[in-house]
Structure formats: C-alpha cells, structure tokens
Amino acid sequence: MKVAIIGGGVAGCATAYYLSKAGHEVTLFERDSLASHASGFALGGINPVIPGAREPEYKAFSDYSIGLHRGLAQELADVVGGDINLIRKPSVKLVRDEAEGNELRLVYEEHATEYGYDMRWLGLGELSHIDARISSDVIGGLYIGEAFELDPYKLTLSLWQAAESRGAQMINKEVTEISVTGNRVTGVVTEGGVFEADAVAAAAGPWSGGLLGSLGIDVPVSPLRGQIIRLDAPSPPMKLSLWWDHDYATTKSDGLTWIGTTEEEVGFDDRTTDEARDRIITSAVSILPYLEDAELVQQTACLRPMTPDKMPIIDGSVGIEGLVVSTGGGRQGIALGPAMGIATAALATGGNSPVDVSAFSLGRFA
C-alpha cells in the first residue's frame, strides 16, 4: 500500500518504521525538520505507570510500548548503527507532604503483588544513602527500578533512517489538505500538488486538530508548552532520576543536569520565558540545594499534544476510510511513541493493532 504520514515526530517516524518494515510504500510529510518540535526537545524519561495511578488500558498500552523500546534499541542499531542512548536508570517519585506520602504508599501497598520489577517505598534515610544531596524536606519516595532514559531526538531520527533504508521517502512540505473522494482518502495536498495515497496517517501533534477540522472531524488536541532547563552542575552526576509534583531532575548522557518542567496553555507560542526559568530552578533547588551553584547552559520549550483526558488518540474509524488519527501522547509522547506507531501502521493498512487501542478512539469524547 501507498501510505502518506503527516508529521515527523516520534509517532509519525515510528509509524513509518513499522510500515516500511512490513514492505509498504511510505511517504512522510514534514513542514519543518524531523523531531523539530516536542519529539526533539523532550526529556526522554521512560517510567512505567504505577498500578492504580492511571486507567488500566493506558497502563497496558504504556507497558507494551516500553517493551518495544527495549527491543528497538538493538533493532535500530543493527539497521542504521548509532546509539539512542537507552539506559536503565531507576527513578524515584519524591514526596514532601505527609498526606501525599500516605496516599502514594497506600497505592504501593495495595498493588505490591502486581509488580514484575523492583518497586519499593524508601524513607529519607534510604534516599540519603543513594544521594545525600536530597533535601531533608523530603520525607520519602517510591523507587522504580524498571525505568529508562534515552535521547528522544536520536530515537526519532533513527526510526526514520531505518524506514528510509527500506525505501521510505520524506517530502519537506506542509500538508494543507487531506484529499477525499466519496468517503475515502485519496492522498494529501501540498503547495507542490496532490500526492496520491491509499491511506493517510495524521500524526501532526497539536496541529492535527486544525488539519482534520476541515474534514469535519473534531480532534480535541491542543498544545501544552513545556520548558526544560539544562545545567552544568557540580559533580558527581545523579545516579537516578528524581520526580516530584510536575517536576524532575536527572543527569543525562550529555553530562548536563536537566530540570523541568512547565505545563502552560499558551496556544502555539513555543518561546521560552524568564518566569518559567525562575520557577523551574526554584523548584529544583528546593529538592536538590546543591543545584544553586549550577551554571545555566540552555533553556528550551516545546509544544506537547494534549487531550482533555491526557490519553492518546489512535483511531482508524473516524468516518473516512483509509484515514487514521494518531496524536495526543502528551508528556508521555516519547514513552508511548513506539506503540502509537505500530498501532497506527496496522490500522492504516486495514489490520488489527497488536495492542488494544479501543480506549483511545475519538468516540470517547462524543
């Protein structure tokens, strides 16, 4: 089949990878450059969903995607070489409030028998043995041993390079319209003309809504700006990643300490702000006081595609045959990317998704 994919982020490139692997003819349309938005600027932290903390369907989908990540690291290295810097890096969800600590500990205790990996509650004393620089305001945290980090830009680029090595092509133009004849897609329209296709996968992140709205398809996805700070911090590097509230801190493979993040509903404004910088640094220093002596290296911002219920949209039954919608990964876009790609590829070619995506249909918003 000839499949057109709109969007060169992790979801679009993962879709291209799985389609080309199955022998289909793939053309990817990206108006800017690969991973030039959220997929290229995200943290790249991959944490399993804590049992009971999210919908069961979401947790199952996330677990499946993490499994794909682990296999992809070697698959991509075999096909295109290079390294996406996937490493196992334990994470800890920190708490400073007694009520929050009791709630998180209760979740942990109620679901303790469901863990297939090392997950346990740590008090401040135990945390201090891991990193003595953690503030004494922290009362404890939930340790997750089966967590990972990777370079999201390298992941997205490698997915595309692997697809390209199997014949996929990229057209660096903006899709202005999805062409439809009767009740079936026939291709996409750019300033260069009409490109015919048997199926179209719309994976344009927060821009998906505007593109599909012209077809009468209401896709409730909006941009959520997230800003990240990179610091040159005093040694030694952090051995695990720390998470609290909406924020985090971790030392990445570039040697810098990354701290973040914001959740800002500001439309399609992807500029960085001084206010966000100050808030992020203040929050990080309250957990890791030694970061007060760190040097600011870089501040970035990106627009994550967010849905009202913070779950992705993956749907091949939107009223137009041959059209698949794949967007809404939100803050977990990198973690969910492989599963979104393999499911979208299957739906675009008329097959069944290897992972259940029934909970992610557009119909849930009706």
Mean pLDDT of 214-232: 97
Shortest CA distance to 249 belongs to which of 214, 287, 215, 206? 287
CATH of span 222-306: 3.30.9.10
DSSP-assigned states of every residue in 39-85:
HHHS--EE-PPPTTSS-HHHHHHHHHHHHHHHHHHHHHHHHH-S---
For the chain, give every domain's residue range: 2-83+151-221+308-365, 90-146, 222-306
- Better-predicted residue by pLDDT, 327 or 119: 327
Structural element, H or E, at residue 187: strand 184-190
Mean pLDDT over each residue of the chain, to the nearest integer:
95
Fold of the domain spanning 2-83+151-221+308-365: FAD/NAD(P)-binding domain (3.50.50)
- Judged against a pLDDT cut of 70, whether residue 115 lies above it is answered with no
Cβ–Cβ < 8 Å for 206, 222:
yes
12: left (phi over 0), alpha (psi -120 to 50) or beta: alpha
- For residues 122 and 94, give the distance between their C-alpha atoms in angstroms, rounded to a whole number: 9
pLDDT tens per residue across span 153-201: 999 999 999 999 999 999 999 999 999 999 999 999 999 899 999 999 9
Tell how far CA 42 is from the center of its chain. 7
pTM: 0.96
Question: What was the pLDDT predicted at 273?
Answer: 98
Note whether 2-83+151-221+308-365 and 222-306 share their fold. Answer: no
Residue 320: which H helix or E strand, with range? none
pLDDT over 90 at 105, yes or no: no
| Secondary structure letter of residue 359 according to DSSP | G
The stretch 360-366 carries a mean pLDDT of 95
CA distance 305 to 222: 6
pLDDT digits (tens, 9 = 90+) for 237-293: 999 999 999 999 999 999 999 999 999 999 999 999 999 999 999 999 999 999 999
Which residue stretches of the chain are H helix?
Answer: 10-21, 38-41, 56-80, 98-110, 124-130, 152-165, 208-213, 274-287, 333-348
- Single-letter code of the amino acid located at 277: R
Which token pair is 313? 């949209």
Question: pLDDT tens digits for 116-145?
Answer: 678 888 998 999 999 999 999 999 999 999
Q: What is the 3-state secondary structure (H, E, C) of 250-283?
A: EECCCCCEEEECCCECCCCCCCCCHHHHHHHHHH
